[in-house]
Amino acid sequence: MKNYADISLTEYLKKYFGFSYFKGNQEVIIRSVLSGHDTFVLMPTGGGKSLCYQLPALIMEGTAIVISPLIALMKNQVDAMRGFTEEGVAHFLNSTLNKAQITRVREDVVRGHTKMLYVAPESLTKEENIQFLKQLKISFYAVDEAHCISEWGHDFRPEYRRIRSIITQIGASPIIALTATATPKVQHDIQKNLDMLAANVFKSSFNRSNLYYEVRPKINTMKEIIKFIRANEGKSGIIYCLSRRKVEEVAEVLKVNGIKSLAYHAGMDAITRSNNQDSFLMEDVDVIVATIAFGMGIDKPDVRFVIHYNIPKSLEGYYQETGRAGRDGGEGQCIMFYGYKDIQKLEKFMQGKPIAEQEITKQLLMEASAFAESSICRRKFLLHYFGEEYTTENCENCDNCLNPKIQFEGEEYIKTVLEAILAVKEKFKIDYIIQILMGVSNSAIRSYEHDELEIFGEGADESPRLWNSVIRKALVEELIDKEIENYGLLHLTEKGRQYLENPYKIMITMDRTYEDGDDDDSVQVNSAKNGEIACDEELLSMLKQECKSVAKKLNLPPFVIFQDPSLEDMAILYPITIDELKNCQGVGEGKAKKYGKPFVELIKAYVDEKEIVRPQDMIVKSVVNKSSNKVFIIQSIDKRIDFADICQARDIDMMSLLDEIESIVNSGSKLNIDYYINEVLDEEKRDDIFDFFRNEAELGTMDEAMEALGDDYEEEEIRLVRIKFMSEIAN
């Protein structure tokens, strides 16, 4: 191998990349690669990992094989390299290329012109590619996003575990493995799998001091997100969701609210994905809504916020995804929306998978949940997870440090926890230890006879939440350790054993609690409900008067025009256009167009006269309701299917079905249910109920109708005719 020891790396850095100096460990890492050593690089997002293999590839003889997990990442990096150097110096070889393009790439590589060849691990394993690569002079192999090798990493990919055996087939050369996130367990797993335990290891600090971390309860999530984006107008951001469906729904809601956004997920065709990525990089759009696939290796330095709509599956995933904010050292806001329903959904997804995989996934998920609920400095918690000590008590750049909770003296509590762990021989997890302290006598505890321990029930006067807080504090203080590879079993460290002999004062904050928030099945946005915000009583009175006036002209009861909840919403949101009016409760497109004009004109005049600043942050336009139930019901009624059969198909009772139908009709849609009414009601009864709503009703409510019509009429009968009346007359 050629000796590169005496070359001036800064000259090459300036020549190829235009920089005058290296960042952090870059220079020593590059010299390790140039000297032919296996090299392991652990460097946070934004630290300049790519340069650590790109520069030596340009300097060394031969072609560097860069194994990368994402087509988008390859394209982005190859495009970037072509900007620094000439065409053909970097190529990628993956499934997006046609035969002619593959031939051209191979010709460039064989001519020795290509210094970097990016390949996906799937492409690497193809026999034709193995035979082709055997012909080349390979300078080294770079395994990017190396955490994909480990089952304990956040983005495990089985094909990554075959890389070492393929390299052996092609021909051995030095390896540089790079990742932005790896716990000590994951690091060891990577090195062992790549057979590079003797590698030079370079770790940079995980601390990204410019990033602000915050966890919010998952309540009114879309309103909160839109409010946040509007407050950060013109800034680039990424919103991560767990599912493709959620990505598309959130992106659509943002679009209809005037926010330039696009979706990105693996279910889209390659051209659309690539175009959407380019639109984000070129700043044609401000926000990308994506699954976790987006952003790996994407070199956009000015992403100013990263929002997690769902809790991520692991803290490693969270760290890497948030790391895409503020790569230039500038502002980076990281907001996570957390609700326990997300945890329950992710646990359901695990069902049916192998037990070992379920245990790993659950353990990683519980770590993410602990981070969300903890009152400890978020930065301290994250760094501890990655094996790095953060000694500063207040980072002044996370929600827990900026809004600290009251602390309590924890010495006795910590001693109790340590004694409980020892009492069960250091062979159990957090939940079990808390059950022992709380005195929970379940079958597992009785089978081990742990209900007979002296410590059993000693903490029953306190809450499980307090004991969770104590255990997490003990973990951060390194008094106990969690054996990740053994699914989270707790054991005392040497420091913990010493603490029992010589305890000292430790202050603890109680974990945060998060209410059960939005049901994540839908991002449908409803306007403010009565009681959440005080409505404008003067305007409400005017709107009710207008409603009576319009009804009188049309010879209809006022409730047919707009019902009270709709008028109350108008007196909260001050809609001044027909589009804005549709955000109010019970106002669909048809109703807004049919009756809305005098109402928005009245509101506009009122707003102008009173110089009212409208609460725009509360006005969130909805996407079309995509409830599968509603679509199914509308289609079934169009086909004249019996209501009992609809109930059976959707596993709902008749009253729930009528609720759904009322909701559809009250939003302005027409439904013809005569075929069913004619089956269950005689003509005289039907006409009596219809005439009541047409000529006698004042409020149009069920209570009013049932009282007026008496015991001869069933609630279901009245509801059916009321639906018919509202559909025919109001809509």
Do the beta carbons of residue 567 and residue 547 sit within 8 Å? yes
What's the pTM?
A: 0.59
The answer to whether residues 196 and 290 belong to one domain is no
Whether the per-residue pLDDT at 612 is higher than 70: the answer is yes
Which residue has tokens 């190829």? 16
Do the beta carbons of residue 379 and residue 390 sit within 8 Å? yes
The answer to whether residues 675 and 695 belong to one domain is yes
Domain end (from 158, 177, 203) = 203
User: How would residue 599 be classed by pLDDT, with cut points 50, 70 and 90?
Assistant: very high
The strand pair at 407-409 and 507-509 is best described as: antiparallel
The answer to whether residues 199 and 310 belong to one domain is no
Do the beta carbons of residue 303 and residue 324 sit within 8 Å? yes
What number of residues does the chain have?
A: 731
The strand pair at 489-492 and 480-483 is best described as: antiparallel
What are 389's two structure tokens? 């000590």
Q: pLDDT tens digit string along 257-290?
A: 889 999 998 788 878 888 888 899 888 999 999 9
Region 623-627: mean pLDDT is 49
Q: pLDDT tens digit string along 33-50?
A: 999 999 999 987 767 888
User: How would residue 332 be classed by pLDDT, with cut points 50, 70 and 90?
Assistant: very high
The strand pair at 261-264 and 287-290 is best described as: parallel
Q: Which residue has the higher pLDDT, 528 or 582?
A: 582
Burial call 292-311: b when 16+ CB within 10 Å, e when fewer? bbbbbbbebeebbbbbbbbb
The answer to whether residues 219 and 332 belong to one domain is yes
Which residue has tokens 């307090």? 466
Region 468-492: mean pLDDT is 81
Q: What pLDDT was estimated at residue 322? A: 92
Rounded CA separation 543/535 (Å): 12
Q: Which residue has the higher pLDDT, 5 or 280?
A: 280
Task: Examine residue 104 and state whether it is found in any structural domain, yes or no.
Answer: yes
Q: What pLDDT was estimated at residue 526? A: 41
Cα of first residue to Cα of last residue in the chain, in angstroms, is: 82
Task: Examine residue 2 and state whether it is found in any structural domain, yes or no.
Answer: no
Task: Examine residue 528 and state whether it is found in any structural domain, yes or no.
Answer: no
Whether the per-residue pLDDT at 316 is higher than 90: the answer is no
Q: What pLDDT was estimated at residue 489? A: 86
DSSP 8-state assignment for residue 396: S
The answer to whether residues 612 and 670 belong to one domain is no
Task: Examine residue 424 and state whether it is found in any structural domain, yes or no.
Answer: yes
Q: Which CATH number covers residue 608?
A: 1.10.150.80
Element (H, E) at 176: strand 175-179
Q: What pLDDT was estimated at residue 98? A: 80
Cα-Cα-Cα-Cα dihedral of 14, 17, 21, 22, to 10°?
Answer: -140
User: How would residue 617 be classed by pLDDT, with cut points 50, 70 and 90?
Assistant: very low
Which residue has tokens 């609460």? 615
The total number of structural domains in the chain stands at 5
CA 32 to chain centre: 38
The answer to whether residues 215 and 346 belong to one domain is yes
Whether the per-residue pLDDT at 488 is higher than 80: the answer is no
Task: Examine residue 521 and state whether it is found in any structural domain, yes or no.
Answer: no
Q: What pLDDT was estimated at residue 523? A: 47
Q: What pLDDT was estimated at residue 622? A: 55
Q: What pLDDT was estimated at residue 63? A: 92
Q: pLDDT tens digit string along 389-398?
A: 888 888 999 9
With vertex at residue 81, the alpha carbon angle to CA 5 and CA 84, rounded to the nearest 5 degrees, is 80
Give me the amino acid identity at 467: W
- Judged by average pLDDT, the poorest of 220-224, 349-353, 527-531, 533-537 is 527-531
User: How would residue 524 be classed by pLDDT, with cut points 50, 70 and 90?
Assistant: very low
Whether the per-residue pLDDT at 115 is higher than 70: the answer is yes
Q: What is the mean pLDDT of the chain?
A: 84
Task: Examine residue 516 and state whether it is found in any structural domain, yes or no.
Answer: no
Do the beta carbons of residue 290 and residue 244 sit within 8 Å? no
Rounded CA separation 580/622 (Å): 10
Please give the share of the chain, as a percent, with pLDDT higher than 90: 30
Angle between helices 715-725 and 654-666 (to 10 degrees): 20
For the chain, the maximum distance between any two Cα atoms, rounded to a whole number of angstroms, is: 103
Q: pLDDT tens digit string along 152-193?
A: 766 677 788 889 999 999 988 999 999 888 888 888 899 999
Please give the share of the chain, as a percent, with pLDDT higher than 70: 89
Q: Which residue has the higher pLDDT, 404 or 1?
A: 404
Rounded CA separation 221/525 (Å): 9
Q: What pLDDT was estimated at residue 70? A: 66
Whether the per-residue pLDDT at 618 is higher than 60: the answer is no
The answer to whether residues 423 and 446 belong to one domain is yes
Q: What pLDDT was estimated at residue 28? A: 94
Q: Which CATH number covers residue 476?
A: 1.10.10.10
CB-based contacts of 531, cutoff 8 Å, min separation 6: none
Region 615-631: mean pLDDT is 55
In DSSP notation, 119-143 reads E-HHHHTSHHHHHHHHTS-EEEEEE
Element (H, E) at 411: helix 411-423
The strand pair at 507-509 and 480-483 is best described as: unpaired
The answer to whether residues 199 and 215 belong to one domain is no
CA 635 to chain centre: 33
Residue 421, CB half-sphere, CA atoms under 13 Å: how many? 28
- Judged by average pLDDT, the poorest of 532-541, 663-672, 684-693 is 532-541
Domain holding 647, by residue range, is 628-730
Q: What pLDDT was estimated at residue 648? A: 82
User: How would residue 76 be classed by pLDDT, with cut points 50, 70 and 90?
Assistant: low
Do the beta carbons of residue 54 and residue 121 sit within 8 Å? no
The answer to whether residues 243 and 318 belong to one domain is yes
Rounded CA separation 224/132 (Å): 53
Q: pLDDT tens digit string along 348-403?
A: 777 677 777 777 777 788 888 889 888 889 999 999 888 888 888 889 999 999 98
Element (H, E) at 467: helix 464-476
The answer to whether residues 585 and 714 belong to one domain is no
